Amino acid sequence: MIIMGFSTLQTFPLIEGLTGPQTLDVLHKRITALGARVSGQFVVDCETYFSAPSLLPGNSQRVLNVLHNTEEPASVFAILEGGAKQPVLVADTLLDALLPKMAVLYTSNKKQTRIESKGNRYEMGDFVVKLGSVTMSGSFKGILVEVCYLACVVPALCWEMVWEFMQSFLGSTVPSTLPPYIQSRQNATFSPTDTIQMYLEKFNEFRKQTVAR
């Protein structure tokens, strides 16, 4: 049985008048003041592959997102978007070696589509907090805060406490409801793929922002 707890993910808007790194610095100060200590770095990255036109009939296109999370260093997550379902594949790192061989079917422009959230990992009792600055193809996009509560795997049972804990250093920016992806499965056991799904959602949001601008 894999016990990894429950994670929630949210964006943190930049504090007015401060840049991204400065905002992160503020958060760092707040959370270390609470007693958390840094326990290394973390990276969650996502690469996107687009299906070749010949693969599917009609004009439809599938998007293959390949994600890595340093919390699961031996795994590669692949999520296929564009269909009725979003199948999630968890594989070992050989998948990375396999993808270049499928370049005919799924092509990727690595420089433009790579998006990642990178930053410090903090530990504080049962809580693990990750403050990540999101960069897409090298440019800063925003801040993602992941809070993980290791002692519970059912989101509905511990959301209140996690929410309260998050408010202590994120302030009023914390939404009072569970992230939309979790809401539908708040009584189910939380798994690492759920974290990845949430990251993908947020990454897609950031991408849309770019498009809007």
Partner 1 sequence: MPVRPKRGLMMPLSMSENLARLAAKIDWSRSDGEEDGDEAAPSSAEGDGDADSQVTTFQQPTWPWESVRNKIRDAYTEVCVLSDVLSIARHKRYMVLDGVTQDAPEPKQIIQVISKKKGLAAAAQILSEGAERMRENLAEQRRNRNNNDFYTELLRLRQKWRLRKVGNNIIGDLSYKQVGSRFWLSGTFEVKKAEENAPALPPPAPGLPPVPPSPIIVTVPSELQGAAFIYVTIRKDQETLCSARLTHPGSTPLPVPQSQHWSDRLDAAQNVLFCKELIAQLAREAVQLQPRLPHMVIGNEITSTIFPGIHLVMGLAHSARPERRPAAAPLPPVPAGPLGDNNYVLEHSLHQLLRHMHHRNMHHAMPHPASAPMGMSKRRRQAGPGAASRGQLLKMVESETLLESIIRQARHVVLRMRTAFAIDSCAREIKDPLIVTHWNSVNSPTQSCCKVNIMTHGYDSVHRTTFLINVLEDSLRCVCRDGRVMTVSYETSELHYIILCQVSQHNLLAAQSLGRIMGWTVKSSSSGQGGGGGGGSDASQTAQSGGGGAASSSCVLSAPGGHCYVAVRCQPHGEPVTVSVAQSPKRDFFPTALVTEHKWEHLGGAFRQIKWEKMEGRNFLNKMELLMANLSSGTGSIM
Closest-CA residue to 45 (of 171, 125, 176, 134): 134
Q: How far is CA 138 from CA 93, 118, 133, 145, 180, in A?
A: 24, 12, 11, 19, 28
| Among 193, 204, 206, 207, interactor with partner 1 by CB under 8 A | 193
What one-character DSSP code corresponds to residue 85? S
Q: State the nearest-atom distance from the C-beta of 75 to partner 1, in Å.
A: 5
Are 39 and 32 in contact by the 8 Å Cβ rule? The answer is: no
Q: Please, which residue, 4 or 63, has the CB nearer to partner 1?
A: 4
| Among 80, 191, 205, 207, interactor with partner 1 by CB under 8 A | 191
Q: How many residues sit in the footprint of partner 1 (CB under 8 A)? A: 18
Helix (H) / strand (E) containing 203: helix 192-212
Q: State the nearest-atom distance from the C-beta of 205 to partner 1, in Å.
A: 23
Q: Is 6 helix (H, G, I), strand (E, B) or coil?
A: strand
Footprint on residues 52-111 left by partner 1 (CB under 8 A) = 70-77, 90-94
Asked if 161 touches partner 1 (CB under 8 A), the answer is no
Asked if 4 touches partner 1 (CB under 8 A), the answer is yes
Q: How far is 91 from 96, CA to CA, in rounded Å?
A: 9
Q: Please, which residue, 186 or 191, has the CB nearer to partner 1?
A: 191
Q: State the nearest-atom distance from the C-beta of 173 to partner 1, in Å.
A: 28
Are 179 and 163 in contact by the 8 Å Cβ rule? The answer is: no
Q: Please, which residue, 91 or 154, has the CB nearer to partner 1?
A: 91
- Binding piece for partner 1, criterion CB under 8 A, among 11-19, 52-60, 159-167, 191-199: 191-199
Tokens of 76: 């590669």
Q: State the nearest-atom distance from the C-beta of 204 to partner 1, in Å.
A: 21
**Which residues are 129's β-sheet partners?**
122, 147
Taking every pair of C-alpha atoms in the chain, what is the biggest distance, in angstroms?
57
| Contact positions vs partner 1 (CB under 8 A) | 2, 4, 70-77, 90-94, 191-193
